[in-house]
Amino acid sequence: MTKVTTIKEYSFTLWSKPLSINNAKFRNGRFKPSSKLWLDNIHNELSPHSNALTLLGQDFDPSCQSLMFYLTFYLPKLYTKSGTISKISNDLSNIEKILIDCICSDKVNEHTPNLNLNDAFICDLISKKRSTDDDAHVVVKIAIRDGLL
């Protein structure tokens, strides 16, 4: 078994409400107008992190490293009045996908600052939904891990 250690990481917060991949596109695969607005917001929110994301992507060596993503989605309406998890809070897997695509590559929006890496290099993905009294947001932490799993 190879020892895996974190050699570099970067964290940031995005203050856009999560978008479910199920609600993002029409049946013909084209993005809905509301999704295009969300993509523009994500582009604007990732812009201040452009240099850090570029450097992280350039430092990554797919021959001996893997990526780890930590995503914590903070949602103001996670629970219903009866205290159960709300069905409108979305499935984690559905809100992860489009966000990861935006952060990793330009296949969603060619102008969005990103890692310029294939998301297939993500070997560890830890996602959580948490309740907040604040606006919806997501805390993203990306780590380069030395050693292949």
pLDDT digits (tens, 9 = 90+) for 49-92: 999 999 999 999 999 999 999 999 999 988 888 989 888 778 89
Residue type, 146: D
CB atoms within 10 A of CB 88: 10
- Decide the pairing of beta strands 65-75 and 122-131: parallel
- Stated pTM of the model: 0.90
β-bridge partners, 14: 138
Rounded Cα distance between 64 and 148, Å, is 6
pLDDT band at 113 (very low <50, low <70, confident <90, very high): confident
* Amino acid (1-letter code) at residue 126: I
**Residue in this structure with the two tokens 């049946």, named with its chain if needed:** 27
Are the CB atoms for 3 and 147 separated by under 8 Å? yes
